[in-house]
Amino acid sequence: FLLTGPLRVVAVLLLVGLTWLLANTLFGKESGSSVRHFFSGERSKPRPRKYKCGLSAPCPPKHLAFRLVSGAANVIRSQNLLVSSVKNNVGRGLNIALVNGVTGELLDTKNFDMWAGDVSDLLKFLRPLHEGTLVFVASFDDAATKLNDESRRLFEELGSTAVKELAFRDSWVFVGAKGIENKSPFEQRMKNSKSSNKYEGWPESLEMDGCIPLRPPLEG
């Protein structure tokens, strides 16, 4: 029995439709999208290229790419992942990474509990920093309760302007340097406020990225 005329046209259309549905079922949305693009002649848009630390553009030569995220998804990334839950080195309080300001190499990472910990541990960590050391900071939960005048002053000497008013459960990300002459351009603070908090009891997390110029080696 052969189909003729309109019946043949209907049969062909049904066959094409069933083929499309089968491809979409087996291979998911991307395949279905590809089939539609094939028949329509459209081309899928290429995904934007991502560079180090997820930046949308590469850093200039002799610059260090970085990315900071505060809160539960705490991340400190400078060229490579330095601090994160994946590396199991994130904790409540201040998460800090020290990086060589000349070579970009990681020197140390530490977490300081600013709710139940001892601020003297933070002071011992910050006092002996060498000239040019980069200091990356990302807060998680409470980063301020145990801060005293000296610890706030040490962060101010690294270029912070927000640490002076940093309060209970404020969200804070900061990049400073030992020996910086001016205030750091890399700092954000989100105040903990019941009227504006995104989550109950906590402000939303902060994300900051950019490029930091590396220092030339010291002469002599």
- pTM for the whole structure: 0.74
If you count them, how many residues does the chain have? 220
Residue 42 counted as domain residue: no
Residue 195: per-residue pLDDT: 77
* Distances, alpha carbon 69 to alpha carbons 29, 77, 169, 205, in Å: 32, 9, 15, 7
Q: How far apart are CA 52 and CA 82, in angstroms?
A: 13
Q: How far apart are CA 158 and CA 164, in angstroms?
A: 12
3-state secondary structure the chain: CCCCCHHHHHHHHHHHHHHHHHHHHHHHHHHHHHHHHHHHCCCCCCCCCCCHHHCCCCCCCCEEEEEEECCCCCEEEECEEEEECCCCCCCCEEEEEEECCCCCCEEEEEEECCCCCCHHHHHHHHCCCCCCCEEEEEEECCCCCCCCHHHHHHHHHCCCCCHHHCCCCCEEEEEEECCCCCCCCCEEEECCCCCCCCECCECCCCEEEEEEECCCCCCC
Give residue-wise pLDDT tens across range 69-106.
Answer: 998 778 888 878 899 888 888 999 999 999 999 999 99
Residue 205 counted as domain residue: yes
24 confidence band (pLDDT: 50, 70, 90)? low
Residue 199 counted as domain residue: yes
Looking at the DSSP assignment, which residues form a beta bridge with residue 175? 136
217 confidence band (pLDDT: 50, 70, 90)? confident
Over 70: is that where the pLDDT of 9 sits? Answer: no
Structure-token pair, residue 8 = 């043949």
Residue 91 counted as domain residue: yes
Residue 177 counted as domain residue: yes
When mean pLDDT is compared over 21-25, 41-45, 70-74, 98-102, the highest value belongs to: 98-102
What range does the domain containing 83 cover?
A: 63-213
Give residue-wise pLDDT tens across range 159-205.
Answer: 999 999 999 999 999 999 999 999 999 999 999 887 777 777 777 88
Structure-token pair, residue 52 = 């180090």
Quick one: what percent of the chain has pLDDT higher than 90?
57
4 confidence band (pLDDT: 50, 70, 90)? low
Task: State how many domains the chain has.
Answer: 1
Residue 172 counted as domain residue: yes
Residue 158 counted as domain residue: yes
Please provide residue 27's backbone torsions phi and psi, each rounded to the nearest 5 degrees. Answer: -115, 0
